Amino acid sequence: MSKTLKIGVVIPLLNEEESLAELSKEIITVMNAHDYDYEIWFIDDGSTDRSWEVITELGKENSKIRGVRFRRNYGKSAALNVGFEKVQADIVITMDADLQDDPNEIPELVNMILSGYDLVSGWKLNRGKHDPITKSVPTKLFNWATRKMSGIKLHDFNCGLKAYHIDVVKTIEVYGEMHRYIPVIAKWAGFTKITEKRVNLRPRLYGKSKFGWNRFINGLLDLLSITFTSKYMKKPMHFFGTVGIIFTFLGILSGAYLTIMKYAYNEPLKNRMPLLFLTILLLISGIQFFMTGFVSDMISRTNPNKDNYNIREIM
């Protein structure tokens, strides 16, 4: 007798009380229609409305609906990270709670993971039709920049609707605004079978979008951060040491030039004061980069690099 496929659905949310009952009903309908075993995790990221009360009521009606409630708002990345820790399934689906992501997309996403992909990201073709310009323009710029820097050819990195093999979510760690870069994080963790699927984007019925220019800027800063940390987190000396070698080498060259000019050509150092100061600066900077590399190396070997979130309730 073959094992029933289990699907875990992780849904981060902030003040989405109106949509939760309808969303859970749609997900359950899809799960039952395809004979999936399932669990649904609602991660309440510090909502100030009745979201948690609604989640609690849904959990009483269906034991497969679970929830985590933060004491305050930590951000979508924190919510996803905790959801990834809690979920126990064969395949994990993430989606937003605002009903814009269509649960009817789940079976095809599941089949794509079963065919061998590690991660499948949704591509919302009609995003511009439903999203305001304050969201659509930053999103386009963000996707362009991420494609250029990561080398991953996805059209819509920020789509909340994604499917993952369970190994992916149990391996990666998401923090800051890094949820936008989960495909990038997965790739650098060794999960290279990444693709996308065109998905239906439905209009938002309740609430308002929480995306804007400030989050776009923060996202780009996080992209620079994740690019650096993914390459040098476990070997910071490779970066700081390289810069230190370059600075020290340039300092030695300029120092040798000054020495030759003074003793071979009797040129007073006061005639080369800017270069003398530059030489001193290069040598000191080189030493500082070396020391930073040593300290960073020690920290990387001793720091578990885990975030702790103050969870108020789990059901």
Q: Are residues 114 and 14 in the same domain?
A: yes
Residue 239 CA, distance from chain mean position: 23
Residue 111's pLDDT is 97
Task: Report whether 205 contacts 130 (CB < 8 A).
Answer: no
Beta bridge mates, 9: 40, 93
CB atoms closer than 10 angstroms to residue 212: 12
Whether residue 287 sits in one domain with residue 161: no
| C-alpha of 152 from chain center | 14
Please check whether residue 97 lies inside any domain of the structure.
yes
Q: What share of the chain is helix, strand, coil (3-state, %, to 5)?
A: 55, 15, 30
**pLDDT for 279:** 93
For residue 38, what are its two tokens? 């399932």
What separation, in Å, do the N-terminal and C-terminal C-alpha atoms of the chain show? 32
Q: What is the pTM of this model?
A: 0.73
**Would you tell me how many other CB atoms lie within 10 Å of the CB of residue 159?**
25
Tokens 């949704």 -> residue:
122
Query: Of 191, 208, 233, which residue constitutes the final position of a domain?
Result: 233
pLDDT digits (tens, 9 = 90+) for 106-131: 999 999 999 999 999 999 876 555 55
Is residue 122 within 8 A of residue 196, CB to CB? The reply is yes
Do 296 and 159 have their domain in common?
Answer: no
**Domain for residue 189, yes or no?**
yes
Same domain assignment for residues 139 and 281: no
Q: For residue 20, is it within any domain?
A: yes
* 182 domain residue, yes or no: yes
Cα–Cα distance for residue pair 31/311, rounded to 1 Å: 29
Contacts of 160 (CB under 8 A, 6+ apart): 94, 95, 96, 101, 122
CATH number of the structural domain spanning residue 57? 3.90.550.10
State whether 113 and 262 are in the same domain: no
Among the listed residues 175, 99, 109, the one whose alpha carbon sits nearest the alpha carbon of residue 130: 99
Give per-residue pLDDT as tens, 182-202: 998 899 888 999 999 999 888
Residue in the block written with tokens 């938002």: 204
Looking at 213, 233, 253, the residue that finishes a domain is: 233
Same domain (yes/no): 260, 128: no
Beta-strand relationship, 119-124 and 162-165 = antiparallel
Evaluate whether residue 124 is within a structural domain: yes
Residue owning tokens 């994990």: 92
Which amino acid would we find at residue 29? T
User: If the chain, 315 residues long, is cut into consecutive pieces of 10 residues, what is the mean pLDDT of each piece?
Assistant: 83 96 97 97 96 97 97 93 96 96 96 97 73 64 78 87 97 83 89 94 69 58 68 75 92 93 85 90 92 78 59 75
Q: Which amino acid is at 104?
A: N
- 79 touches 70 (CB < 8 A): yes
Per-residue b or e along 260-281, where b marks 16 or more CB atoms closer than 10 Å to that residue's CB? ebeeeeeeeeeebeeeeebbee
Q: 135, 216 in Cβ contact below 8 A?
A: no
pLDDT in tens, 272-300: 889 999 999 999 999 999 898 888 777 76
Q: What is the DSSP letter of 203?
A: P
233, 249, 269 — which closes off a domain?
233
Q: Number of structural domains, the chain?
A: 2
DSSP string, 84-138: HHH--SSEEEE--SSS-B-GGGHHHHHHHHHTT-SEEEEEETTHHHHS-HHHHHH
* Domain presence at residue 225: yes
Q: Can you tell me the distance from the alpha carbon of 258 to that of 264, in angstroms, rounded to the nearest whole number?
A: 10
The range of the structural domain enclosing residue 269 comes to 236-300
